[in-house]
Structure 1
Amino acid sequence: MPNSPAPTKTPVGTATASNVATRFVDSGNRRLAYRRIGHGKPVLLCTRFRGTMDVWDPAFLDALADEGFEVITFDYAGLGQSTGERTLDPAQLAIDARDLMEALDLRDVAIGGWSLGGMVAQIVLARYPQRISHAVLIGTTPPGPNVKPAEQLFYDTAVIPEYGLKEETILFFEPRSAASRAAAELSVARIAARQGDHSPPVPADWAAENLGSTPRSPLFPADAILEALKHTRIPVLHVGGDHDIIFPVENWYALNQALPTLQLVSFPQSGHGPHHQYPEAAAAHIATFLRHTPLS
């Protein structure tokens, strides 16, 4: 597999995550909204719970594009700017990702996902591997039983109708760390910098109904997906924080010898959104993985 081009700094006037226009493509009985920046090997990113294209930190997306990749984000059907029937079932959301790849004729794709989107990416890898070269999972959970449970704090915070800096810090960073709190403030400001062309937020009450109110195990009850991960030749990278209150990284380390292509990166003093706390470093790790890890 050819290496991706070396990273280059984004030229002045080039579309960035903060100013790129939303595009649309018709697929089946709905219209999917998406954005794309950069050039090179496509990296298709599936968003988190209560997420749209607007919840990604632009510093992370731009850093990944600067590494020499085409970075594509999108809204799930029926959410954000996409039309169709809405759901938070990862298997149905995986169909959105598949259909978008087909509609845009994307090949040799690195499928990525954060949180809920990481479950979606794993299903895409297992069920629709023909276009997939790599999987990049961020702050998510593997399928099957958990060795470490989620914390009640996530369930109590994730259902608050509007996230402010306090909620963003609890959910995606490490409140006990001054450095992480400072990173949260910077990340929230970067996300807020986009002017116009916003995706409507996911309805909070509907999302809360889909979440549940207490931790459970497994968080991702998908035995067939776990079995596929145990036999895949597609390289898998998980990027996590050392204190993720919903998807503890310990659940990935418990599968270290069971998943033959799995690589793990864990950032210190960080939580559920390590790529927002360490946007450039996370992008560099991902870029190295994509360039130098072939099919096993």
Structure 2
Amino acid sequence: MTTYTHQTAPTQFVEATGIRFAYRRFGKTGSVPIVMNIHFRGTMDHWDPVITDGLAERREVIMFDNAGVGASSGEVPPTFPDMARDAIAFIKALGISKADILGYSIGGKIAQEIAVQAPDLVRKLVLVGTGPRGADTAASKAAEIFSATYDPPEHLWIAAHFSASPAGRAAGLAYLERKHRRRDRSPEVSEASAATQYQAIALSNKKVDGVLDYLSEIHQPALVVHGHNDLIIPTVNGFTLQQHLPNAQLIIFPDSSHAPFYQYPETFIREVSAFLDQEKWA
């Protein structure tokens, strides 16, 4: 029997609600799979292979391109609840009745909406570098970072995801090298799709009365992970999630920004594996 990895897992397709979803799945079967929801402008090829292969040693990992992203068909919908609706359709199309959901950045916002819309589908949540509806973005440098020019352009991802320290920059360069090892990659997110994602971010972050009330409905165990100085979704949002989710714990990684798990992959894998394996959280 062939054992696939992040680099070798074949791209497969499944249809649901008129969308042809591209996905890859690999790892140890027989346990609850973990479904990965990626960041703004990301495809399944933006995940760090160290993370996905590390998680796959203990459970099945499923990466996918949501509607209108990468190799999937359709259009990016205008809101995170709509993106969650598409993700739920994808998961159910695979015949999965229970999953752990990992969401990174806007993928974390989508993960929360999946838990709200389909609570019976979700066993546990891992929320990385993300925030709630009505997120506090006062200290965010996202607009500045994403509008700047980089040489080479790929260094945008270092500025957006890693701390500016020598260790952070070294971790960012190492991530870029790992990310490009796979050759048959999903197409990059189009400017039109990115613009719709950005509109969804702005809509989600609006401040309205009771904007955090929905968090009390998410009773699944949640592990919230943040960098100590997240320049994209400020770290205070990790505290907000932990305080308002009924069953959450919080980890803050030192000397890190928006991608703390890429800067400390071994520690992240150890902490997440322990969290997912804890029977008392089941």
Structures share fold, TM-score greater than 0.5:
yes
Q: RMSD between aligned alpha carbons?
A: 2.6
- Structure 2 length as normaliser, TM-score? 0.89
The residue correspondences of 1:53-202 to structure 2 (distance < 5 A) are: 53-66=44-57, 68-87=58-77, 89-144=79-134, 146=136, 149-151=138-140, 153-159=141-147, 164-175=153-164, 177-196=165-184, 198-202=185-189
Report the Cα distance in structure 2 between the residues aligned to 1:223 and 1:123, rounded to whole angstroms: 18
Secondary structure of the corresponding residue to residue 33 of structure 2: strand
- Do residues 203 (structure 1) and 190 (structure 2) align? yes
Over 3 Å counting, the alpha-carbon distance change for 1:130 and 1:255 in structure 2 is: closer
Report percent identity of matched pairs.
35
Matched, 1:20 2:9: yes
Q: Give 1:239's aligned amino acid.
A: V
The letter for the 2-side match of 1:84 is: G
- Aligned pair partner of 2:40 in 44, 49, 67: 49
Is this contact kept in 2: 1:241–1:249, CA < 8 A?
yes
Residues 173/221 of structure 1: CA separation in 2 closer, same or farther (3 Å cut): same
How many angstroms does 1:97 deviate by?
1.4
The one-character-per-residue Cα deviations of 1:225-258 (angstroms, maximum 9, x if unpaired) are 8323224321111111111112112123245443
| 1:242 matched residue in structure 2 | 228
Letter in 2 for 1:191: K
Distance 1:149 1:195, change over 3 A: same
After superposition, give the CA deviation of every residue in 1:63-84 in whole Å (9 maximum; x if it has no partner). Answer: 1111x11111100112211111
**Equivalents in 2 of 1:241, 1:282: separation in Å?**
12
Partners in 2 of 1:63 and 1:220 — Cα distance? 36
> What letter matches 1:251 in structure 2?
N
Distance 1:220 1:74 in 2: 28
Q: What runs of 5+ residues in structure 1 fail to find an aligned partner?
A: 1-10
Gaps of 5+ in 2: none
Alignment coverage as a number of residue pairs: 278
Give 1:134 shift.
Answer: 0.5
**Which residue identity lines up with residue 28 of structure 1 in the other structure?**
T
Shift of 1:216: 6.9
